[in-house]
Amino acid sequence: MSIVAILYPAFILAILLVCIHAIFGLEIIKRGVIFTDLAIGQFAAIGVAVSLLFFHGAYSFMLTLTFALLGALLIALATYRVKHIEAFIGMLYAFGASSIIVILSNTAQGTELFNKLQATDILFATLSDLTEPLILYAVVAFVFFTLYHRLHGVAKEMLFFTLLALTVTSSVQLAGVLVVFVLLIVPAYLALIQSTFNPLGFAWVAGSIVIIVAMVLSYVFDLPTGYTIVFVGSLCGIIGALGRGK
């Protein structure tokens, strides 16, 4: 049986993740707040950790969304109230990451769970795993393209960060914080350093190629899938940046 026949649900999920995250990644890079998604992702992961520790995995989506929205709200407010916003977002990220360690330190598998929250194995996703993210990402994309560019000021910021929080809530549970960060930044960055093709279309194609190559390498060489995606994606971004120059 070929790799495609075995892994095609995972490939579909990977492309879905790339497509929705590229939309936000382009905006994040243009705004110059690169670590926004990483901070929100860490806050979302706090929700997963709380669910695992106190509720044995129950209420995971609700708790993850609550913490992701909290992180998004703090960043949205800080955009208008805080100087040196990148430093503030960095502190939020550090707070989120350390909170997860503190929470999971009371569990027997704390380190393993933390690693899983950072980069999850999506290699053997099934078709049933695609339904929820497909519906959620379709709704998020529709609202984004319909409303985002019509709004201004605080309303525009709140919509952006709410949609990002909804997306990250799902994707952190599916793929992990670091994978989400790479999918948000690398395809968008590669798209913005070229001027030949439409940025969003380029980000979709480039990101899909990168993540599928990473997943095939993970399968063939028995590597941890999440971290292989992070490695390959980051390497492509670095090579693209150095090769393109200023």
What mean pLDDT is predicted for residues 181-188? 94
CB 107 within 8 A of CB 116: no
Please determine, for residue 57, whether its predicted confidence score (pLDDT) is greater than 80: no
Q: Rounded to whole angstroms, how far apart are CA atoms 237 and 246? A: 14
Of the candidates 128, 232, 111, 228, the residue with the CA atom closest to the CA atom of residue 175:
228
Map residue 155 onto helix, strand or coil. Answer: helix
Q: At what angle do helices 3-31 and 36-55 cross, to 10 degrees?
A: 120
Q: Quick: pLDDT tens for 5-27.
A: 788 999 999 999 999 999 999 99
Average pLDDT over residues 32-48: 84
What is the average pLDDT value for the chain, to the nearest integer? 89
Least confident of 106-115, 162-171, 219-228: 106-115
Q: How confident is the model at residue 53 (pLDDT cuts 50, 70, 90)?
A: confident
Structural domains in the chain, CATH included, are: 3-241 (1.10.3470.10)
b/e string for 53-68 if b means 16 or more Cβ within 10 A?
beeeeeebbebbbbbb
Confidence of residue 245 (pLDDT cuts 50, 70, 90): low
pTM of the entire predicted model: 0.88
